[in-house]
Structure 1
Amino acid sequence: MTDLLLAALHHLLVFGLVSMLVAEAVLLRGHVDAGMARRLAGLDTGYGATAVLLLGVGVLRLLYGLKGWDFYLHNPWFHAKIGLYVLTGLLSALPTLNFLRWRRALRQDPGFVPSTADVDRVRRVVRIELAAVAVIFVLAAAMARYGGF
C-alpha cells in the first residue's frame, strides 16, 4: 500500500510540476506587465516547491518502494533521469532569478515592466525546461522497463 501511495503522489506532483511550467510558458507568450510578472513569480514559487516535494517523494520511493534501492542503483536510465532532473533544476534558477528581480523591482515601482530581452530569455529557458521534462518522461519509461542494458 505504501508503494501505491508514494507512486500516486509522485505522479500527481509530476503533473502539478508540468502544469505550472506550461502555465509559465503560456503566460510568457504574451505581453508581460506588472500583474503578469507577479503571477509568474507566484507560479514559479509553486513550481520550485513542487520540484522539491517531487524529489522528496522520489527518495521515499527509493527507500520504501517495491522495487527497492538495488533496482535504482544499477539502473543507468535512472541515473540519466536524475542527472537531467538536476540539470533542469539548475537551469530553472535562471527564470527564478529573473522573477525575483522583477518582484523586487515591482516593490520599488508598481508600474515596472520587464524588458523584452528579459522576457525573451526567460521564455527560451522555460521552453528548454519543458523539452527536458519530456526527455525525463522517456527516461522514466525506459527505467521502468529496462532495469539495465
Structure 2
Amino acid sequence: MFRDFLLASAHHLLLFGLVAMLAIQSALLARPIDAAAARRLVGVDRGYGTAAGLLLLAGLARVLWGVKGADFYLHNPWFHAKVGAFVLAALLSILPTLAFIGWRRQATQQPGWTPEPDRVARIRTIVRIELVLVALIFVFAAAMARHGGLGL
C-alpha cells in the first residue's frame, strides 16, 4: 500500500512539474527571444523532457506494481485516452525542442539575432496546445479513477 502511495505521489508531482515547465515556456515565448531567453528555453525544455520521461516511468510502474493492477488500466478506455493525450503532447513537443535548440545556436553565433515573430507565434501556439492536452489528461484521469468514468 505504501509503494502505491509513493508511486501515485511521484506521478502527480511529476505531472504538476510538467505543467510548470510548459507554463514557463509559454511565458518566455510571450516576450522577445534573445540569447538569454533561448538558453532559458532550452533549459526549461530539458526539464520538461526529464519530467515527461520520469512521468512515463512512474505511470508504467503504477500499471505494473500499483494496487489497482494492470487489468484496471488496460481495460479502461479513459486510460487509453490519457496515454493518447500524453503521446500526442510528447510528439508535439518535438517541434518546440528543435526550435529552441536552433534559436540558441543562432543567437550564440549571431549577436543581436532574434527569431521571426511568426515562428515564435507558431511555437507558442504548439506549447499552448500541449497545455490543453495536459489539462485533458487531468480530466481523463478523473474519469479513469471512476473505472469507466462518467457512466459511459
Measured against the shorter chain, the TM-score band is over 0.9
User: Which residue matches 1:57?
Assistant: 58
User: Which residue matches 2:32?
Assistant: 31
| Alignment partner of 1:101 is 2:102 | yes
- Structure 1 residue 39, shift from structure 2 partner: 0.6
User: Which residue matches 1:81?
Assistant: 82
> Can you give the 5+ residue segments of structure 2 that lack an aligned partner in the other structure?
none
| Partner SS state of residue 8, structure 1 | helix
User: Which residue matches 1:4?
Assistant: 5
How far apart, CA to CA, are the structure 2 residues paired with 1:34 and 1:13?
Answer: 28
User: Which residue matches 2:91?
Assistant: 90
Q: How does 1:110-129 map to 2 (within 5 A)?
A: 110-129=111-130
User: Which residue matches 1:69?
Assistant: 70
User: Which residue matches 1:133?
Assistant: 134
- Structure 1 residue 21, shift from structure 2 partner: 0.4
| Partner SS state of residue 96, structure 2 | helix
Does the Cα contact within 8 Å between 1:37 and 1:102 map onto a contact in 2? yes
One-letter amino acid matched to 2:15? V
- Structure 1 residue 112, shift from structure 2 partner: 2.6
Describe the superposition over 1:42-76 as per-residue Cα deviations: whole angstroms up to 9, x where unpaired.
10111011101100110001111000000011000
| Partner SS state of residue 136, structure 1 | helix
User: Which residue matches 2:144?
Assistant: 143
> Can you give the 5+ residue segments of structure 1 that lack an aligned partner in the other structure?
none
Does the Cα contact within 8 Å between 1:81 and 1:139 map onto a contact in 2? yes
- Structure 1 residue 103, shift from structure 2 partner: 2.0
Report the number of matched residues: 149
How far apart, CA to CA, are the structure 2 residues paired with 1:40 and 1:110?
Answer: 17
Does the Cα contact within 8 Å between 2:34 and 2:107 map onto a contact in 1? no
One-letter amino acid matched to 1:111? G
TM-score, normalised relative to structure 2: 0.93
- Structure 1 residue 107, shift from structure 2 partner: 3.3
- Structure 1 residue 111, shift from structure 2 partner: 3.2
TM-score, normalised relative to structure 1: 0.95
How far apart, CA to CA, are the structure 2 residues paired with 1:21 and 1:144?
Answer: 25
Does the Cα contact within 8 Å between 1:71 and 1:147 map onto a contact in 2? no
- Structure 1 residue 105, shift from structure 2 partner: 1.5
